[in-house]
Structures are given as C-alpha cells and as structure tokens.
Amino acid sequence: MSEKDKTIEEKMNMLRETAAWFEGDDFSLTMASEKFEAAAKLASEIEHDLEKMENQITLLKRSFEEA
C-alpha cells in the first residue's frame, strides 16, 4: 500500500509511532532529520486529507407515513 492509499487513521498511527521514536531509546541523530521530514510530510498530508473530506448526504425519498 503506498502512502497515498493509507487512511487518515493509518497516517495518524504512523505519525504517533514516529513521535514515539523521537522519545524512545532507538532515537539517533543520524536518522532524526529523515524521520522529522517524513513526519512533517505526513502531518501535512493528514491536514490535506481532512480538509478535502466531504460528507455525502442523502435525503431518503421514501415516506415513513403509515401505509
């Protein structure tokens, strides 16, 4: 699954994991720059995805009056 195909929840989970990496024992300065850039891109994508999401509202035509 490519990055673009991921859902907002999946992207949020990836962002949480990255944030946890920065706080964790695996943190290394060598990787930090790359991880930070990826996280910033992910946050930007999440924002974009959320902004463009629109609801599809359907008013049912059927009547619920007693037949």
Alpha-carbon distance values, 40 to 3, 31, 53 (Å): 14, 14, 20
Cα(15)–Cα(9) distance, integer angstroms: 10
Q: What distance in Å separates the CA atoms of residue 15 and residue 32, rounded to the nearest whole number?
A: 14
Q: Note the residues at the interface with another protein (CB under 8 A).
A: 8-9, 12, 15-16, 18-19, 22-23, 27, 29, 32, 35-36, 39-40, 42-43, 46-47, 50-60, 62, 64-66
Query: Quick one: 5 or 23, whose CB is closer to another protein?
Result: 23
* Shortest reach from residue 61's CB to another protein, in Å: 9
Q: How far is the CB of 9 from another protein (least distance, A)?
A: 7
